[in-house]
Structure 1
Amino acid sequence: MDRDGVDRALARLGAEHEAVETSLLALQDHSGRRLLEGAGLTGVTKERWAEADAAITRLWRYFDAYSGALGAAREIRERRRWPSREDLVELTDRLRGPGVLISGAAVEGAPLAERFSLAELVSRMNELYASSLDVVVAADSVWSALPARIDLLAAELHRTRALAHSVGVRPGEHPSGDDLEAITAELADLRARVIEDPLAFWCAVAGSSAPGGGRPDTGRYDRAARALEDVRREVEAVLTVRQDAEQRLIGLRDVLSRADRTLAEARVARGEVLAKIAASEVPAVSGPPTVLQEQLSAAAEYRRRAQWHRLSPLLESLEERAEEELRRARESLTAVTAPLAVRAELRGRLDAYRAKVARLGMAEDPLLMERYDTARRMLWSAPCDLRAAEQAVLRYQWATAEALPSPQQAQQDQQDQQGHRPVREWPDGPREGDA
């Protein structure tokens, strides 16, 4: 190497020395490294930190050797302004050759030593620094992210538990109370695991160039948060029951009362149908549901004793079954009164055809009169045979259709009437078209 080459190499190596020193001091002061040194580690974090701690120790030993070699080379260069050939040869050997000897630990009784050039030593220090920094950054990221979030979730858990106890949601008495106990145990175990073994909660990202190269694994935390949210919604539902219980019980009593009245109306209607309609199947009408009344009484007792966690599911079940009971009662009334509806429809149809016949001036037709009287007598007698009455109405409709003129004939008759107006005699003589 010539003088300029030596000076450039020393400047580059000096800049690298400064950068390595800055990085090592930053690593030494890193909060994650200090936490790792003072923590009672377990699992994968304990193993990886032992390796990283040893790597950091080697880093400082390598750096000291690097500093010594660089300082010796600078001393040779500073002997004279224009270095001799011997100086240049020695500087070339120190700056480019494997002249840095670093002793190592004994392995199986044989002493080991490592020999590097300054460039190789810088590369080796970069590798050790990157692997050590990955461990420190990953652990610090997990400790920065998860414990604080777990503490916030634990505070929310404490508030939810207090609220749950106020409405009777307790372990052994309500499923949500058991869930709260399980979530409490899960958060306690999760926090302890995160503190002792943070790297067990680290998801590495392949190909990332950032220190650590990954993100904290929040899977267990997220599951606990979702479980707590489910319990919180359940407790809020119980609170809503406490606020709305009286109105909901009043509404239930009203629905069941309407169902009872509808069933009573259906029973009365069934007796009327049996008396007025013959040869018709009329379904039986069941009695009021006594089980629902008993459960309604139990719900009122739960409200009186402020047992909201028991009242909440019972009210939801009662509301569904009460609406179902009202629907069933209405369907029963509809089924029972169906024959009366059929009779009313036949009566309306008969009267409509009678009005049409009268409007066309055919009310005195003997056949139509006879068939109308027959159908009317059947429909207005008790008990009424619906099948026979329907046939009588159909016969009246057929007779009416045969007696009435067709649409073409009616149109022709109307045209004939318009073309042959009557002629009246007037004093001055007949005037066509005067009426």
Structure 2
Amino acid sequence: MAGGTRPVMNREQVDRALAQLGAERDAVEAALLALQDHPGLRLLTGAELSGRTRERWAVAEGGMALLWALFDRYAEALASARAVRSRRTRPTAAELAELGELLSGRAVAVSGGRLPEAAGQLGVPARLVERVTLTELLERMNGWYAVVVEVVSAVDAVWSALPARIDLLLAELGRVQMLALSVGVRSGAHPLADDLDQLAGQLTALRAEVVADPLSLWRPSRVPAQRGRGAGAGDSRPGAWASPTGAGAVDTGSFDRMGRALDDIRVELEGLLRLRDESHERLQQVADLLQRADLTLAEARRARGEVLAKIAATEVPAVPGPASALREAIGQAVDYQQTGQWHRLGPLLDALENAAAKELGRARQALTEVAQPLAVRAELRGRLEAYKAMAARLGLAEDPEVVERFEKARWLLWSAPCDLRAGAEAVARFQQALRAPERQPAPQTEDSAEGEETDG
């Protein structure tokens, strides 16, 4: 027979082998029971799948049934060996030979269809029955266990990570769509509404993909196990039968991008909502700026008339008219406000605020340029009065020349039309009269001071 040349095991070797194989059996059974209770396996059973998930689950589902069938053959073979060992305390040579064949020989007969990785290889004819050792049978179970665990754990990871988050994002999308309607953002009329519709379609499609083909969103950290060649194949130690886990990560890139896109849309819509709440006040501020600009231009026109009437030989710039185009734009903004077209009102209102501020600046600049001659005349009048006060302090208020120059300057500056150049020259001459050496008070000497004391 096949085991005729196999070394005969002694009693101690048989007992150690039985203990090791018994521990392997217990580990396999615990792992299979844990796998059977895995939530991913329960969700996969009866699910309508597609794509990569359907293909891999078809293999893994068959592998799950195969695992239990192989485990039964393993347990039966181990039970047969234990029965032989239990016949007597000290087994005979024939019994030791039989035990050696059962424990390490190809004593386990399984259907060729039960071991597709051995019978299904290219170039290898299929066999109806195949005989394997217990160790080989354990290796085959290890390989198929890895295949099933990889599929089940990956599917459970995707289903645990994405569907609930997608549902929350869809609910948030619904709230954002209601916000969009409240500010007049509607499909076909505003790009934000179109973006929301597109995002809703993408999220719905992503959820359908996650439910039907979760493995399309799973990124393993290693090459997926092939049929019957999983990680752990060939490892017959009890530790090879770990709890069901998967090595990899869920691809949330598409979901994350959709979440960021929804956040961006919500921020824009919240800006429109603030605009709706602030639009009346902002329009009023624009109207106030234009009113102040009109008042400033009116003051500039009044100042221009005064300059033309009171200042001689002066070129006075023309005063611009009111900005009628801005008033038309304000009317359009009010129409947008009343009809709730906030997405159109926003950029128009920004432009109006900028234009109104510039219009007020233009009016102020016009007033400054027009009133410049009046400001020069006022400055000359102020200087003349200051020099008059200086003359009084110097005791020159009654000096004929000083009085004459003062009256000349005063007549020029207070007459209309006023010649600013002549007035400036008259003020300068009056100042020079005050600074003439003969009109400065003489400094007191010691002799004059003593004379004054003697006279006293």
TM-score, scaled relative to structure 2: 0.73
Alignment of 1:181-196 (within 5 A): 181-196=197-212
CA–CA distance in structure 1, aligned partners of residues 349 and 203 of structure 2: 33
Amino acid at match of 2:352: L
Q: Which whole-Å deviations, capped at 9, do the CAs of 1:199-234 have from their partners, x for residues lacking one?
A: 222244469x99223332222222322333333334
Alignment partner, residue 166 of structure 2: 150
Q: Which whole-Å deviations, capped at 9, do the CAs of 1:97-131 have from their partners, x for residues lacking one?
A: 56556534454681257775544544443343234
Alignment partner, residue 186 of structure 2: 170
CA–CA distance in structure 1, aligned partners of residues 109 and 437 of structure 2: 130
Instruction: Decide which of 215, 239, 247 is 2:281's aligned counterpart.
Output: 247
- Say yes or no: does 1:46 pair with 2:46: no
Instruction: Decide which of 125, 143, 150 is 1:110's aligned counterpart.
Output: 125
Alignment partner, residue 323 of structure 2: 289
Instruction: Decide which of 248, 254, 257 is 1:223's aligned counterpart.
Output: 257
Q: 1:136 to 1:251 in 2, by over 3 A?
A: same
Q: Counterpart of 1:46 in 2: which secondary structure?
A: helix
Instruction: Decide which of 10, 33, 40 is 1:32's aligned counterpart.
Output: 40
Alignment of 1:205-224 (within 5 A): 205=221, 211-224=245-258
- Say yes or no: does 1:66 pair with 2:74: yes
How far does residue 171 in structure 1 lie from its aligned partner after superposition?
Answer: 0.7
- Say yes or no: does 1:9 pair with 2:17: yes
CA–CA distance in structure 1, aligned partners of residues 217 and 53 of structure 2: 10
Q: 1:29 to 1:354 in 2, by over 3 A?
A: same
Q: Counterpart of 2:216 in 1: which secondary structure?
A: helix
- Say yes or no: does 1:76 pair with 2:84: yes
CA–CA distance in structure 1, aligned partners of residues 189 and 322 of structure 2: 33
Of structures 1 and 2, the one with the larger relative CO (CA 8 A, separation 6+) is 2
Amino acid at match of 1:45: T
Could you tell me which runs of 5 or more consecutive residues in structure 2 were left unpaired when the two chains were aligned: 1-8, 224-241
Which is further off, 280-289 or 29-38? 280-289
Q: Counterpart of 1:138 in 2: which secondary structure?
A: helix
Q: Which whole-Å deviations, capped at 9, do the CAs of 1:400-425 have from their partners, x for residues lacking one?
A: 88969xxxxx9xx79979x9796357
- Say yes or no: does 1:268 pair with 2:302: yes
Alignment partner, residue 19 of structure 1: 27
Q: Counterpart of 1:423 in 2: which secondary structure?
A: helix
Q: Which whole-Å deviations, capped at 9, do the CAs of 1:326-380 have from their partners, x for residues lacking one?
A: 3333343334444544555565566556656765667789998898888777766
Q: 1:416 to 1:241 in 2, by over 3 A?
A: farther
Q: Counterpart of 2:87 in 1: which secondary structure?
A: coil
Q: 1:239 to 1:400 in 2, by over 3 A?
A: same
Q: 1:51 to 1:346 in 2, by over 3 A?
A: farther
Amino acid at match of 1:173: A
Q: 1:337 to 1:2 in 2, by over 3 A?
A: farther
Q: Which whole-Å deviations, capped at 9, do the CAs of 1:143-166 have from their partners, x for residues lacking one?
A: 122111222222222233234334
Retained in 2: the 8 A contact 1:130–1:211? Answer: no
Alignment partner, residue 431 of structure 1: none
Q: Counterpart of 2:249 in 1: which secondary structure?
A: strand
Q: Counterpart of 2:187 in 1: which secondary structure?
A: coil
Q: Counterpart of 2:331 in 1: which secondary structure?
A: helix
Amino acid at match of 1:197: D
CA–CA distance in structure 1, aligned partners of residues 103 and 399 of structure 2: 136
Alignment partner, residue 423 of structure 1: 453
Q: 1:391 to 1:120 in 2, by over 3 A?
A: farther
Amino acid at match of 1:201: L
Alignment partner, residue 257 of structure 1: 291
Alignment partner, residue 430 of structure 1: none
Q: Counterpart of 1:215 in 2: which secondary structure?
A: strand
Q: 1:326 to 1:67 in 2, by over 3 A?
A: farther
RMSD: 4.4
Q: Which whole-Å deviations, capped at 9, do the CAs of 1:238-266 have from their partners, x for residues lacking one?
A: 44444444433333322221222222223
CA–CA distance in structure 2, aligned partners of residues 68 and 316 of structure 1: 85
CA–CA distance in structure 1, aligned partners of residues 202 and 354 of structure 2: 36
How far does residue 66 in structure 1 lie from its aligned partner after superposition?
Answer: 2.6
CA–CA distance in structure 2, aligned partners of residues 101 and 401 of structure 1: 135
CA–CA distance in structure 1, aligned partners of residues 400 and 95 of structure 2: 149
CA–CA distance in structure 2, aligned partners of residues 387 and 120 of structure 1: 120
CA–CA distance in structure 2, aligned partners of residues 223 and 255 of structure 1: 44
Q: 1:254 to 1:83 in 2, by over 3 A?
A: same
CA–CA distance in structure 1, aligned partners of residues 138 and 432 of structure 2: 113
CA–CA distance in structure 2, aligned partners of residues 402 and 116 of structure 1: 135
How far does residue 397 in structure 1 lie from its aligned partner after superposition?
Answer: 7.8
Q: Counterpart of 1:111 in 2: which secondary structure?
A: coil
Amino acid at match of 1:46: R
CA–CA distance in structure 2, aligned partners of residues 34 and 274 of structure 1: 98
Q: Counterpart of 1:173 in 2: which secondary structure?
A: coil
Which is further off, 390-399 or 140-149? 390-399
Alignment partner, residue 321 of structure 1: 355
Q: 1:61 to 1:340 in 2, by over 3 A?
A: farther
CA–CA distance in structure 2, aligned partners of residues 149 and 306 of structure 1: 34
CA–CA distance in structure 2, aligned partners of residues 92 and 402 of structure 1: 141
CA–CA distance in structure 2, aligned partners of residues 280 and 35 of structure 1: 95
